[in-house]
A and B are shown apart, each in its own frame.
Chain A
């Protein structure tokens, strides 16, 4: 039997077309689509069918799932009932043991070639993958098996996308990102520790409504949400341009909401949507709360040095406070250093992907 479209499902559930237009308008603004796209998006989404989703949890802290559960737009219940069919997720599903694994096998069979796999967490690859197992299978084997019938994979969170904290030094389990294990499927990296909830649901909605994967940046992230740096979209940016910086977390500059660059903010080199989408339903975000960005959506963020050292400190050979005399010089250097770090990270990632694409996985040869 053919599944009903999302539009048909909504009408059956008593949701009016105007309410759906409102929902899609909110999604369009979230996805930074051109003005007036709400109606077009509504038409596309209404004609689409629910997407079967398999959610695999590997080396992770469940923070990404927690983030997803706190999505406001679209809310998780709206997403689950109307947009996707979440057929397998360890933490949320009522089934357990053989029943749960049976549900996974069934959806893989019934939706072969069409289902979406969301991966949460890095994959321990050392020693044949023995450091992470579930249901008698290693995460490594599960990843390879489940990906065979996948239409695409979403690497959810910095651990799945770039290795994250499990891959941080000394990386005893040989943790690797999904892209190091799977090379024959399209992969979308939705990074962040955790990712912004609406970035997760927005990416899913975009895939369902438009029937294709979003345009990606050099690190495989949707440009819609990762197209700008935190710094570019920060409401404190005018202070950076004026050379007004907080020097400590309780000085006059901090109280006046000045730029947190000198307190270690990684906004200039971090691509994410925190500054615009914000957190907790748009309530606030780290910089608005008075703390600099820690760059959690970028590769190797955990191993890049202190969260409280200015980005420019490496270039100037110091990690402490900056004298007022040097402030102007540092401000000028920041853009150059920031750009260099960003390009460097992208280049390293591309090199790694290129190197691994044609070679069998060998965790012993990883940098870590």
Chain B
């Protein structure tokens, strides 16, 4: 008898054991939130290093829910930073220029680090803006008029 590939039923077992991974992550999230609320440091949980199967991942995603902020960044590939339904818990995906997922993490912070302006960029920003204003003024002088 020939068996077609589509006839082979492949499922994920929903046994109680699979929930253990989700519970472990959520415990860490709650600890991180309590610590942050008490003035502690932000915390990052690397989702790719955890042995979660797709069902567990979806369960985790559904439990955390969706929040108010959803930011897309274009940084040599798209990054997406979403606040979950738990305030201060951010679901972050980094993709490379080819669209491949290179990092996926939960960051427990007021604002994720990737959204902060780099201190060196900030230090040069005022000077760079002055240069742009000077260049624009110079371009607008009568001798440069069309």
| Residues in chain A within 8 A of chain B (CB atoms) | 15-19, 21-23, 25-26, 29-30, 32, 35-36, 38-39, 72-73, 75, 233-235, 237-239, 241-242, 244, 250, 255-258, 275-277, 281-282
Contact = CB atoms under 8 A, between A and B. Distances in A.
22 contacts: A15-B76, A18-B73, A18-B75, A18-B118, A22-B94, A25-B103, A25-B105, A25-B113, A25-B114, A26-B102, A26-B103, A29-B48, A35-B43, A36-B44, A39-B113, A72-B96, A75-B97, A234-B51, A235-B21, A255-B11, A256-B13, A258-B13
B34 interface: no
Interface residues of B, number: 43
A38 B113 contact: yes
Nearest to A72: B100
Given A19-B76, A257-B12, A282-B100, 7 more contacts: A22-B75, A26-B102, A29-B48, A35-B44, A73-B102, A238-B18, A241-B17
B11 A238 contact: no
Nearest to B92: A25
B48 A282 contact: yes
Given A22-B76, A36-B41, A257-B53, A17 B121 contact: yes
A257 B17 CA distance: 13
Given A73-B96, A257-B11, A21 B76 contact: no
Interface of B: 8-13, 15, 17-18, 20-21, 41-46, 48-53, 56, 73, 75-77, 79, 94, 96-98, 100-103, 105, 113-114, 118, 120-121
B71 to A, nearest CB: 12
B48 A276 contact: yes
Contact of A17 (B20, B48, B103, B118): B118
